[in-house]
């Protein structure tokens, strides 16, 4: 008992310090996001505006433009990073991520259809996105299993399914050109013109799915040992795999419903957090939530100020960093061979 305590206690302390540092990064990212832009505000002016005591210039900037965007960055970053961590653990594939295996594209197609066929049903957009994301991940999983579930097969199946779903999005926009306002931002991924009313339904879904994922972290740890091992330990592996994949789809779909087809957050952050926190499910998921929130918010702020007064979509910044990272992961598999 004493030896177990001496072994686990330093790890707990180290993980605790790491999570506190990540929380500080989230707070810093939020402050910078609220302060920086075409019009720079001091932290004091931001706090006054949040308290409703700002002047006529700073109050609308903070409350109506930057606060919804910052909240959207934090929520989308958390959702996509945790979704990626769950998918990688359940599928035992470090190359898997929501944007790579068709989850984001499936959610995007459902969002496009929902906006085209029922434009007034704003509250149902996150639900539709969840359905599309779940369909995407299950379809890719079925294709990979039927053709041999190697890592590369799963990635190639995801790329093919994503292409089909993306073509579906283009077709919807062709026939219903007004269905997606700001279509280019949606396709690349961006959070401009976000409002609290549009964010609220997805926010509740993300928070509920995050809580459920943290609750199921022990089962995720067992599943990560392999299907046969999980069954030998008495875990109904198929049931929990589907449940965890549904949570991953809910997280990614909710993020896509207001942030568009953002890529690579669900790939980069889980790898970083595994190096910092290890493989244990609960610290890993908590670290991914904080790390994803900080990364996306920092990238969005950078996209706003890099070429000010012009503004990039945050999806461009993520792709510039995430693309080379994905290639590095591919070449790293089995000594650089793509098998």
Q: Which two tokens stand for residue 119?
A: 């434009």
Inter-axis angle of helices 281-305 and 196-215, nearest 10: 160
* Secondary structure letter of residue 233 according to DSSP: T
Query: For the chain, what is the domain count?
Result: 1
For the chain, residues with pLDDT lower than 70 are 1-10, 54, 147-152, 182-184, 333-339
pLDDT of residue 334: 54
pTM metric for this prediction: 0.88
How far is C-alpha 213 from the geometric centre of its chain's CA atoms? 14
Residue 309's CATH number: 1.10.3470.10
pLDDT of residue 5: 42
Asked if residue 338 belongs to a domain, the reply is: no
- Separation CA 122–CA 253 (nearest Å): 14
Inter-axis angle of helices 281-305 and 314-332, nearest 10: 130
Of 108, 121, 94, nearest to 315 by C-alpha is 108
* Domain boundaries, position 154: 2-332
Asked if residue 300 belongs to a domain, the reply is: yes
Q: Which two tokens stand for residue 319?
A: 């792709």
């Amino acid at each position: 008992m004493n030896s177990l305590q001496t072994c686990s206690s330093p790890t707990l302390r180290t993980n605790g310090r790491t999570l506190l540092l990540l929380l500080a990064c989230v707070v810093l990212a939020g402050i910078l996001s609220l302060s920086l832009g075409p019009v720079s505000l001091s932290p004091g002016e931001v706090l006054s505006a949040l308290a409703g005591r700002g002047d006529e210039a700073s109050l609308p900037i903070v409350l109506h433009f930057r606060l919804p965007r910052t909240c959207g960055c934090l929520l989308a970053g958390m959702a996509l990073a945790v979704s990626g961590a769950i998918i990688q653990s359940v599928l035992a594939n470090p190359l898997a991520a929501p944007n790579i295996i068709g989850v984001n594209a499936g959610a995007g197609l459902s969002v496009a259809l929902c906006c085209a066929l029922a434009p007034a049903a704003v509250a149902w957009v996150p639900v539709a996105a969840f359905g599309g994301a779940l369909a995407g991940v299950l379809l890719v999983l079925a294709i990979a299993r039927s053709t041999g579930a190697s890592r590369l097969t799963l990635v190639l199946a995801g790329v093919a399914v994503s292409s089909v779903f993306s073509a579906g999005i283009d077709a919807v926009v062709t026939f219903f050109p007004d269905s997606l306002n700001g279509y280019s931002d949606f396709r690349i991924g961006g959070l401009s013109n976000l409002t609290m009313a549009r964010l609220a339904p997805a926010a509740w879904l993300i928070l509920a799915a995050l809580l459920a994922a943290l609750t199921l972290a022990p089962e995720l740890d067992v599943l990560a040992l392999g299907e046969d091992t999980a069954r030998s330990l008495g875990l109904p592996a198929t049931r929990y795999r589907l449940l965890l994949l549904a949570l991953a789809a809910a997280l990614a779909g909710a993020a896509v419903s207001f942030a568009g087809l953002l890529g690579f957050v669900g790939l980069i952050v889980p790898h970083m957090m595994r190096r910092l926190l290890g493989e244990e499910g609960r610290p890993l998921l908590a670290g991914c939530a904080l790390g994803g929130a900080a990364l996306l918010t920092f990238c969005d702020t950078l996209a706003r100020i890099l070429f000010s007064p012009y503004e990039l979509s945050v999806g461009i910044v993520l792709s510039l960093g995430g693309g080379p990272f994905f290639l590095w992961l591919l070449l790293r598999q089995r000594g650089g061979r793509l098998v």
